[in-house]
C-alpha cells in the first residue's frame, strides 16, 4: 500500500468520523441540559476537527493524485459522468459542510438548554452536515465505481475484445 | 451574574454574526464555482495563486467566512441576534446552494 492509497483511505475515514460527531451533537442537543452543555461543546469541536482533517487529506489526494490517476482512467471508460457530475459536484459541495462545521462551535458555546433559537440552529446545521456528508460519501463511492468499471473494461478488452460493445 | 450575562450576549452576537457570514459564504462558494467553471481565466488565476484552483477556492471560502464574521460582529449584524429567522436563512442558503450546484453540473 502506497502513501497515495493511505491518503485516499484517510479522507473518507475522517469524513465519516465528522458525520458521526455531527450526529452526536444533534442527538445531544435534542435534550440539551446545563449538564450536557460541556459535552456538546466538545463534540462540536471534534466535528470541526474531523472536517478540517478531511479537507487536508482530500485536498492532498485530489490536487496531487486524482487528475493523473482516477480522472484519467474514468475519462477513458464507459461512465465518464461519474467524474463530470459526481466529482465536480462533490469537490465544491464539500466546502458547504466544511463551513458549517467551522461555524458549529460558535453556536454550541451558547446555553442551548435555555436559548431556543441557538438550539434550533445547532439542530439545523448538524442535520445539514450529516446529509451533505452522506451525499458526499455516496458520491465518492460512485466515483470509485466509475474508475473500477473503466479498469474492468480495459481488462476485458485485453482478454476478450469481442465482448465489448463497439470494440469489434 | 452581570458579567455572565454580558459574556452570553457577546457570545450570542458572535454566533449570530458568524451565522450570517456562513449563509453568505455558502452561497459565495457556489457562485465562485459557477464563474470559475465558465470563465477559464479565473480558473487559471486561482491556480496560479496556490498551485491548484481547488486550494484557492477552499481558502477563499474560509477567509471570507472569518472576515465577514468579524465584520458583521463589529457592525452588530444581524441586529436581532440569534433568531429562528437566521436559522431559516442558513438552512435555505445551504439547501439552495447545494441544489443549484448539482443542477449546474447536470446541465453545464
CATH code (residue A111): 1.20.120
Averaged pLDDT, B16-38? 97
Nearest chain A residue to B9 by CA: give it: A110
The answer to whether A65 and A57 are in contact (CB under 8 A) is no
Among residues A134, A92, A15, which one has the least CA distance to residue B99? A92
Is A80 among the domain residues?
yes
Q: Quick one: angle between helices B53-74 and B40-50, nearest 10?
A: 90
User: Is A66 contained in some domain?
Assistant: yes
Cα Rg, chain B, nearest whole Å? 17
> Each residue of B71-104: pLDDT tens digit?
999 999 999 999 999 999 999 999 999 999 999 9
Domain of residue A123, residue span: 3-163
For residue A168, being part of any structural domain is answered with: no
Higher pLDDT, A76 or B7: A76
pTM, rounded to two decimals: 0.92
CB contact under 8 A, B94 and A128: yes
Asked whether residue A21 is assigned to any structural domain, the reply reads: yes
**B80 secondary structure, DSSP code:** T
| Strand, helix or coil for residue A66 | helix
**Grid cell digits, residue A3:** 502513501
Evaluate whether residue A13 is within a structural domain: yes
State the pLDDT at residue A163: 62
A14 domain-assigned: yes
Do the Cβ atoms of A98 and B61 come within 8 Å?
yes
Q: Is residue A69 part of a domain?
A: yes
Number of domains observed in the structure of chain A: 1
Report yes or no on A138 lying in a domain.
yes
**Interatomic CA distance for residues A96 and B42, integer angstroms:** 21
| pLDDT value at A144 more than 80 | yes
Contacts of B69 in chain A (CB under 8 A): 106
Distance from A115 to chain B by nearest Cα, in Å? Answer: 9
Asked if A121 lies within 8 A of B52 by C-beta distance, the reply is no
State the cell numbers at A167: 470494440
Q: How open is the CA angle B9-B82-A39, to the nearest 5 degrees?
A: 75
Residue A65 forms contact with B (CB below 8 Å): no
3-state SS of A107-136 is HHCCCCCCCHHHHHHHHHHHHHHHHHHHHH
Distance CA B104, CA B93 (A): 16
Tell me how long chain B is: 108
Amino acid at each position: 500500500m502506497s502513501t497515495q492509497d493511505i491518503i485516499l483511505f484517510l479522507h473518507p475515514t475522517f469524513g465519516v468520523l465528522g458525520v458521526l460527531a455531527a450526529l452526536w451533537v444533534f442527538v445531544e442537543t435534542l435534550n440539551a441540559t446545563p449538564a450536557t452543555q460541556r459535552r456538546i461543546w466538545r463534540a462540536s469541536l471534534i466535528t470541526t476537527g474531523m472536517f478540517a482533517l478531511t479537507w487536508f487529506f482530500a485536498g492532498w489526494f485530489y490536487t496531487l493524485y486524482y487528475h493523473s490517476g482516477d480522472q484519467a482512467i474514468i475519462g477513458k471508460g464507459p461512465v465518464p459522468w461519474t467524474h463530470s457530475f459526481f466529482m465536480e459536484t462533490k469537490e465544491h459541495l464539500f466546502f458547504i459542510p466544511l463551513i458549517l462545521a467551522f461555524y458549529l462551535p460558535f453556536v454550541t458555546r451558547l446555553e442551548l438548554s435555555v436559548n431556543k433559537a441557538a438550539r434550533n440552529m445547532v439542530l439545523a446545521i448538524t442535520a445539514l452536515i450529516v446529509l451533505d456528508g452522506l451525499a458526499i460519501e455516496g458520491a465518492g463511492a460512485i466515483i470509485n465505481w466509475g474508475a473500477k468499471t473503466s479498469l474492468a473494461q480495459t481488462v476485458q478488452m485485453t482478454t476478450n475484445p469481442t465482448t465489448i460493445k463497439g470494440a469489434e | 451574574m452581570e458579567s455572565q450575562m454580558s459574556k452570553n450576549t457577546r457570545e450570542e452576537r458572535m454566533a449570530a454574526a458568524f451565522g450570517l457570514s456562513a449563509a453568505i459564504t455558502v452561497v459565495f462558494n457556489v457562485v465562485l464555482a459557477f464563474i470559475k467553471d465558465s470563465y477559464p481565466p479565473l480558473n487559471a488565476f486561482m491556480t496560479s495563486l496556490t498551485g491548484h484552483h481547488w486550494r484557492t477556492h477552499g481558502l477563499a471560502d474560509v477567509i471570507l467566512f472569518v472576515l465577514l464574521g468579524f465584520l458583521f460582529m463589529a457592525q452588530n449584524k444581524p441586529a436581532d441576534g440569534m433568531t429562528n429567522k437566521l436559522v431559516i436563512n442558513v438552512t435555505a442558503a445551504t439547501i439552495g446552494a447545494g441544489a443549484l450546484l448539482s443542477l449546474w453540473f447536470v446541465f453545464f
